[in-house]
Every structure is written in structure tokens, then in C-alpha cells.
């Protein structure tokens, strides 16, 4: 069994490849919920939904989030009423949030609801929220830039401000007292390999590692010499999607393979990096991290499956 620590789009693409090289029941995705937001009274879990929609073939191929062949009638009407319409919820996608919110109100856990959603979408991989407790990624903006200041929720930073503002600090509200589910703890303990998906190390993997039980489980494996493999989300020092490179620099880390290796210091034994960054392999290995150089552009056919094979040691 293989456990994968996941953000949204990059992780979902990796899992599609992973599914080609091993049985679906051998895969457990542990997914970031720091991006979750309550809007219009609805609980939205973007990374969980991106993974379920991608694995079921229902993802919107243009945006990388939301459902394919979506319509936007509800949002259009909401905008006319003067409601909050900056976070786009498609008509079909709304059903997912209605379903989740109603079941949460009835006392079901996010883990149970996610399993029900995955089953309804025909997803065979175990999709496990990182926690059933609420953890909120909060972003402190640099007040010296653009006149923006103060702290905002992750989606306000990412969608409303289009991650176009310098960041001073990121914190994960609720993480210090949150627990993770027994399913996640067992997955991280029993997996042959734990893989850190090519997701944003700061805001996608950061919330997972901010949970004591997850960090401890990964770090224990590492100290026991059991494989923990990360895949760099950078190609040529740039994020494939989103602000990973900028966030790393803004928070004082290098937006490079070396920077990623240092970010995951004492957690990973292997880092898979892109060919475009091969000149960094020696410097990564000098940090005591085995460095594997390969093609990592998962928009190309077969690449995600090839990386999964390397990561899983198959």
C-alpha cells in the first residue's frame, strides 16, 4: 500500500498516473483541508473535490477545478442579487457542497462524507481528509505592497486576490489542537512508501505537516529508514501551477530543488526533480537526500505513471 500526501491539481494528476501502475485499493490519498471554506453556509473542500473529480474523469479540463460541462446559473443570479460571487460555484458542483454540508450538520465526519462522495463518483482510491477537525490556512499579507494588509483566508488570497500580493506569513489556524483520523495514522504507518505529491509545499503540504500526528508519523518513518519520497512541484525553478515559487521566496526559502529538499529536511530520503533542474542534483544529494532526475511535466502522456513507478520503487 502507498500513501500520498496531497494538495489539489498536481496531486490529482499524480494519482491518475499512480492508478495506472498499481491497484486502486493499494493507494491512500491523504488530502489537504486547509483550503476549505464556508461560503453561503456551505462547506467547500476544494482539494478533496479536485481529487475526486479528477479520478472520476469529471474534472473541468480547462480550469483544473470544478466539474466538466458545468453551468453557472446560480452564480449569475447570486451576482444579480448582490451576493458574494467571487468564488465560482457551478450548478453541478453546488450539489457536492449541499450534500457535504447537510451531512456535516447531521453529525457525519468529513472522512465519512468524503468516502460517500468518492463512492458516488466511482473513485476506488481511498480519499482521506487530513483531519475531521477544522484547520484554516490563513495568509498574512505584506502591508508594504499594494496597500493590502492584514490576514485573509486562503481562498481570499488565492482566488479573490489571485495570489497576486506578497505574503509575509502563512499559518494553519486550529492545527495545534486538531487530531487526524485513525485511517490517516494507519495509512502513514503501514504504507510501503509515503509520497509527498508535487503540490505546493507551503500551502498544500504545509497544513498536513502542521498536524502533529502526520509530521510525527512521517518523521518517524524517515528516522527508521523507511521510504518517504517527495516530488518537486517546480520545473526550471518555476511552479507548474499557482504561487509555490513566489511563496517559497517570500517566506525566505529558495524556489529550487535545493529549496524543496531543505523544506522537507528530516522528512524525506528521496526527491524527484525535473530534467530542467538536473544541475541541482548534486547539491540536493549533498544535503543527504537521494535525487532522482526525470521528466515531471504531467501534462505529457505517461509522465505521471512513470513518476509514480519511480516514487513507489516499482
Q: Which stretches of the chain bind ligand FO1, using CB under 6 A?
A: 7-8, 35, 44, 46-47, 49, 65-66, 87-89, 93, 155, 158-159, 204
Q: Which is nearer to ligand FO1, 162 or 224 (CB)?
A: 162
When the beta carbons of 14 and 158 are compared against ligand FO1, the nearer one is: 158
Tell me how many helices (H) and strands (E) the chain has. Answer: 13, 14
CA 127 to chain centre: 12
Choose between 92 and 290: whose C-beta lies nearer to ligand FO1.
92
Q: Which is nearer to ligand FO1, 26 or 87 (CB)?
A: 87
In this complex, which beta carbon is closest to ligand FO1, that of residue 21 or of residue 139?
139
Residues 6+ apart with CB under 8 A from 288: none
Residue with Cβ nearer ligand FO1 (207 or 227): 207
Residue (of 228, 230, 133) closest to 189 by Cα position: 228
Least distance between ligand FO1 and beta carbon 223 (Å): 30
Considering the complex, what minimum distance in angstroms separates the CB of residue 93 from ligand FO1?
6
Q: At closest approach, how far in Å is the CB of 9 from ligand FO1?
A: 6
Closest CB to ligand FO1 among 36 and 280?
Answer: 36
Tell me the three state secondary structure of residue 229: strand
Buried b (16+ CB within 10 A) or exposed e, 90-105: bebbbebbebbbebbe
- Give me the sign of the Cα torsion angle 49, 53, 55, 56: positive
Distance CA 239, CA 295 (A): 15
Least distance in Å: CB of 88 to ligand FO1?
Answer: 3
Q: CB 51 → ligand FO1: shortest distance, Å? A: 10
Beta-bridged to residue 228, according to DSSP, are 194
- Cβ atoms of residues 113 and 181 within 8 Å: no
- Minimum CB separation from ligand FO1 for residue 163, in Å? 9
Smallest separation (angstroms) from ligand FO1 to the CB of 156:
10
- Give the Cα-Cα-Cα angle 63, 297, 59 (nearest 5 degrees): 25
What gap in Å lies between CA 307 and CA 240, rounded to an integer?
16
CA dihedral 77, 113, 221, 258 (to 10 degrees): -10
Amino acid at each position: 500500500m502507498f500513501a500520498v500526501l496531497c494538495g489539489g491539481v498536481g496531486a490529482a494528476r499524480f494519482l491518475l498516473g499512480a492508478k495506472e501502475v498499481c491497484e486502486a485499493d493499494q493507494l491512500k490519498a491523504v488530502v489537504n483541508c486547509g483550503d476549505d471554506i464556508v461560503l453561503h453556509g456551505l462547506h467547500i473542500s476544494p482539494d478533496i473535490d479536485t481529487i475526486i473529480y479528477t479520478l472520476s474523469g469529471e474534472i473541468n479540463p480547462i480550469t483544473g477545478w470544478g466539474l466538466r460541462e458545468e453551468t453557472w446559473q446560480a452564480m449569475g443570479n447570486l451576482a444579480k442579487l448582490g451576493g458574494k460571487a467571487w468564488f465560482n460555484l457551478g450548478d453541478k458542483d453546488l450539489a457536492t457542497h449541499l450534500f457535504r454540508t447537510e451531512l456535516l450538520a447531521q453529525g457525519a465526519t468529513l472522512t465519512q462524507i468524503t468516502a460517500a462522495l468518492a463512492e458516488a463518483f466511482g473513485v476506488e482510491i481511498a480519499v482521506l481528509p487530513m483531519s475531521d477537525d477544522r484547520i484554516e490556512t490563513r495568509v498574512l499579507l505584506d502591508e508594504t505592497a499594494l496597500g493590502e494588509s492584514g490576514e485573509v483566508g486562503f481562498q481570499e488570497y488565492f482566488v479573490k486576490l489571485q495570489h497576486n500580493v506578497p505574503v509575509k506569513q502563512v499559518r494553519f489556524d486550529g492545527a495545534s489542537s486538531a487530531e487526524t483520523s485513525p485511517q490517516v495514522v494507519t495509512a502513514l504507518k503501514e504504507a510501503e512508501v509515503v509520497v509527498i505529491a508535487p503540490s505546493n509545499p507551503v500551502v498544500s503540504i504545509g497544513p498536513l505537516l502542521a498536524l502533529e500526528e502526520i509530521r510525527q508519523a512521517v518523521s518517524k518513518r524517515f528516522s527508521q529508514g523507511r521510504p518517504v519520497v517527495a516530488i518537486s512541484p517546480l520545473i526550471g525553478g518555476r511552479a507548474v501551477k499557482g504561487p509555490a515559487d513566489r511563496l517559497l521566496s517570500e517566506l525566505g526559502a529558495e524556489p529550487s530543488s535545493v529549496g524543496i529538499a531543505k523544506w522537507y529536511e528530516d522528512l524525506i530520503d528521496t526527491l524527484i526533480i525535473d530534467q530542467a533542474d538536473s544541475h541541482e542534483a548534486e547539491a540536493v544529494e549533498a544535503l543527504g537526500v537521494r535525487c532522482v532526475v526525470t521528466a515531471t511535466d504531467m501534462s505529457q502522456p505517461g509522465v505521471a505513471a512513470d513518476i509514480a513507478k519511480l516514487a513507489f520503487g516499482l
